[in-house]
């Protein structure tokens, strides 16, 4: 552990970036990072690295996949577009190109993120999966171990650690009775690309969030025969109303009106535009869409045409699943229907507790910061979180700026002491 012994005799503000091979094993290396270490090269990690770079603070970004924004590049369906207008989805310091449409496509968003990384010189270390990160109180540093695709082990030693793996790190795959006997294709939306391979088939989509609704529409457009499991009450709103995006209109109204009044207005306009969704099996929650989002993080569905397909019978709405049978599903209302495939639009979850060994900032139950927005971005001993606000890319940008500001203050404070120490010596 030559690297760690050397650090013990140095200050945390050492500006040198030292990389040393362990003399006893060529498969182990220790890297001493002068600035923050960021885990995750999705939009959250990129935004934080860019904000730090603008302030003159170097960082190292680790990414378990082979590319930036791996969720968008590798685990999303082909027809995906941003559900919110582009002005609400841009990262700090760089907007979308002017010629991009209001709702950029999946590929356009990926192109934007790649251009963003180039603009700020962000070069993540790919194919490095963080297996463990813990604070060494004796050393006064974070020790972060990662494993490469060939099994090589790296240990990073840093003063600041930023968890940027976000809310969508791991797919949520629910247990279903009879799963082993179903016989057909069962896959999570992270493995779904297009309805083309399901053409002519009866497909059950489980989950009625934005992804589930859009996958159903995609299946319809490819002449499949989808059904949709709706387990809970859900708010369905038009993507645009009164000539503006529903989200943009909501943000504008909240500047002047209380949230419950804005919710009431949104629901009235939605009723005139979409009708009574409960008639089609889509009961609304008792809380309004914005209040529910604030309290639970549950996002309302912004309709892009799925509701029309439900109304005309192209998409059948079903209750919760009781159990699976051979190419069939029994529902809790006692009905049974046949299906050739099941798509699980059951969302994602944080994986922070699996690698971050600390019990104060993050909850082991759900992997989110214990302190709610807007106070969940900072922990103890130089630990930070970005991308866990349940407020999309707007929340990510806010946290990235806060983190960069906070680390910059420490960085400048250390630089001042470095200068004073150099002069006195």
Counts for the chain of helices (H) and strands (E), in that order: 10, 23
SS3 262: helix
Q: Read off the tokens for 259.
A: 């949230």
pLDDT of 414: 72
Nearest to 404 by CA among 94, 35, 52: 52
259-264 long-range contacts (CB < 8 A, ≥24 apart) are 259/288, 259/290, 259/291, 259/294, 260/288, 260/291, 262/288, 262/290, 263/287, 263/288, 263/289, 263/290, 263/291, 264/288
Total Cβ atoms within 10 A of residue 306: 24
Domains in the chain with CATH codes: 2-169+350-424 (3.50.50.60), 172-348 (3.50.50.60)
pLDDT 10s digits, 337-360: 999 999 999 999 999 999 999 989
Q: Which residue has the tokens 């809790």?
A: 332
SS3 207: coil
H or E segment to which residue 330 belongs: strand 328-331
Could you give the CA distance from residue 324 to residue 292 in angstroms, rounded to a whole number? 32
pLDDT 10s digits, 62-121: 999 999 999 999 999 999 999 999 999 999 999 999 999 999 999 999 999 999 999 999
Q: 384: which strand partners?
A: 162, 378
Contact predicate 209/353, CB 8 Å = no
pLDDT 10s digits, 287-343: 999 999 988 888 999 999 999 999 999 999 999 999 999 999 999 999 999 999 999
Q: Which residue has the tokens 């779904």?
A: 192
Strands 170-171 and 128-136: unpaired
Contact predicate 417/411, CB 8 Å = no
Strands 170-171 and 348-349: antiparallel
Total Cβ atoms within 10 A of residue 395: 20
pLDDT of 39: 98
pLDDT 10s digits, 381-416: 999 999 999 999 999 999 999 999 999 998 987 766
């Amino acid at each position: 552990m030559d690297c760690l012994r050397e650090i013990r005799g140095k200050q945390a503000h050492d500006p040198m970036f030292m990389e040393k091979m362990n003399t006893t094993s060529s498969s182990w290396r220790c890297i001493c990072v002068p600035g923050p270490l960021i885990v995750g090269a999705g939009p959250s990690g990129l935004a934080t690295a860019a904000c730090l770079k603008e302030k003159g603070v170097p960082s190292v970004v680790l990414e378990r996949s082979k590319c930036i924004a791996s969720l968008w590049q590798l685990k999303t369906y082909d027809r995906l577009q941003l559900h919110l207008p582009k002005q609400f989805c841009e990262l700090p310091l760089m907007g979308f190109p002017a010629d991009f449409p209001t709702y950029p496509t999946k590929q356009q968003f990926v192109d934007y993120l790649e251009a963003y990384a180039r603009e700020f010189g962000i070069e993540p270390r790919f194919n490095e999966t963080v297996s463990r990160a813990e604070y060494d109180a004796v050393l006064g540093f974070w020790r972060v171990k990662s494993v490469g695709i060939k099994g090589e082990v790296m240990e990073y030693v840093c003063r600041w650690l930023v968890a940027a793996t976000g809310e969508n790190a791991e797919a949520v795959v629910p247990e279903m009775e009879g799963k082993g006997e179903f016989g057909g294709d069962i896959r999570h939306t992270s493995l779904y690309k297009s309805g083309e391979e399901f053409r002519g088939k009866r497909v059950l989509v489980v989950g009625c969030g934005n992804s589930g609704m859009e996958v159903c529409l995609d299946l319809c457009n490819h002449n499949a025969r989808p059904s949709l499991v709706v387990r809970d009450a859900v708010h369905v709103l038009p993507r645009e109303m009164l000539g503006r995006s529903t989200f943009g209109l909501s943000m504008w109204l909240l500047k002047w009106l209380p949230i419950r009044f804005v919710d009431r207005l949104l629901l009235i306009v939605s009723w005139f535009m979409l009708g009574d969704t409960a008639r089609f099996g889509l009961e609304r929650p008792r809380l309004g869409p914005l209040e529910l989002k604030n309290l639970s993080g549950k996002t309302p569905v912004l309709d892009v045409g799925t509701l029309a397909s439900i109304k005309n019978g192209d998409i059948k709405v079903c209750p919760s699943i009781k159990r699976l049978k051979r190419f069939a599903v029994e529902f809790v209302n006692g009905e049974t229907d046949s299906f050739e495939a099941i798509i699980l639009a059951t969302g994602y979850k944080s994986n922070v507790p699996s690698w971050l060994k600390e019990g104060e900032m993050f909850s082991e139950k759900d992997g989110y910061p214990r302190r709610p927005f807007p106070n969940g971005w900072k922990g103890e001993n130089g630990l930070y979180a970005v991308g866990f606000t349940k407020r999309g890319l707007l929340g990510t940008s806010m946290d990235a700026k806060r983190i960069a500001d906070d680390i910059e203050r420490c960085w400048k404070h250390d630089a001042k002491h470095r200068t004073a120490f150099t002069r006195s010596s």
